[in-house]
Amino acid sequence: MDGTQGNNVRGAHGSAAFSLIELLVVIAVIVILVALLFPVLSKIKEKARTIKCLSNVKQWVYSFHIYSEDNDDYFPYEGNTTDAIDAGLNVEAWFNVAPPCMAVSALKDLYAVGNIPLRGDNSVFVCPSTTKPPTAPPSMTDPFFMYGFNNRMDPNGPDRFKRVQVVDPSDTVMFTESQGQLPWATYQTPARHTGRANLGFVDGRAETIPKKDYDRTSAEDDSDVEWAVGRRVYWFPFPGAPK
């Protein structure tokens, strides 16, 4: 045997093995690549969640249109927090009457069988970017909403607005994202998608809108004030519309 052969370090298949330094270099390169890719992957994941949420909003918009066509052009009722979701006027609220228009069970029926839509569920009731959990286990009297009807489209009186009353259907919000117990949304809708929110409009479209374009001050939460200047997004259906 050659006397120098025993000094050669060989791997199991005769190739030279990695030295410790080489292994550390490889690990360092992998760590750097992961650090560089992580923000990109996070953006891709959020983009996917935004698209899924936008699809949900679009489905709700279609269901509202179907409901209106079957109900003399009226929008559905926004709902209230004084009744359980299966009682009083809430029986006719959007979350109970619109889902069947897209072959989905009414929210009251989902709650009745314990199939409550929660974060992480693949449901039209669930925004995949929701991060705020319910403060208490959701129930008929304390439900949890991730979407909501624009309550400036409901005058809170004996009469409801009709689609035909909306002055600018392509720029007036009908449905959007929400958070918590309230089954409705306003200009304060959360901007969950990198500073944007998915809004559904009366004309049937849905779009991801920057917060600066839909946000309002409390002084602007008035139909005459809102319609006094040109806007990209309107919350009230027409000038003079009551809250």
pLDDT single digits (tens) 56-75: 999 999 999 999 999 999 99
- For residue range 216-239, what is the model confidence (pLDDT) as tens digits? 999 999 999 999 999 999 999 999
The backbone torsions φ and ψ at residue 240, rounded to the nearest 5 degrees and listed phi first, read 90, 0
Predicted local confidence at residue 9, as pLDDT: 45
Looking at the predicted structure, is the pLDDT value of residue 132 above 60? yes
pLDDT band at residue 106, thresholds of 50, 70 and 90? very high
Burial 140-167 (b: 16+ CB within 10 A, else e): beebbbbbbbbbbbbeeeeebbebeebe
pLDDT of residue 102: 96
* Res 5 pLDDT > 80: no
Dist CA 189 CA 199 (whole Å): 9
Give pLDDT, residue 6: 45
Q: What is the pLDDT of residue 18?
A: 65
The alpha carbon of residue 152 and the mean position of all alpha carbons in its chain are separated, in whole angstroms, by 19
Which alpha helices (H) appear in the chain, and where do they start and end?
20-70, 94-97, 107-112, 211-214, 223-227
User: Over 90: is that where the pLDDT of 8 sits?
Assistant: no
User: Would you state the pLDDT for residue 131?
Assistant: 86
> How does pLDDT run across 9-51, given as a tens digit for each residue?
444 454 556 687 777 777 877 877 777 766 766 778 889 999 9
Average pLDDT of span 81-88: 96
Say what the pLDDT of residue 38 is: 63
Confidence of residue 4 (pLDDT cuts 50, 70, 90): very low
Distance of CA 75 to the CA centre of its chain: 21
pLDDT band, very low/low/confident/very high, at 159 (cuts 50, 70, 90) = confident
pTM: 0.83
pLDDT tens, 175-213? 999 989 999 999 989 999 999 999 999 999 999 999 999
Q: Among residues of the chain, what percentage have pLDDT more than 70?
A: 90
Per-residue pLDDT averaged across 149-153, rounded?
94
Report residue 158's pLDDT band, with 50, 70 and 90 as the boundaries: low
Can you tell me the distance from the alpha carbon of 66 to that of 73, in angstroms, rounded to the nearest whole number? 9
Confidence class for position 1, pLDDT limits 50, 70, 90: very low
113 φ/ψ sector (left φ>0, alpha ψ -120 to 50, else beta): alpha
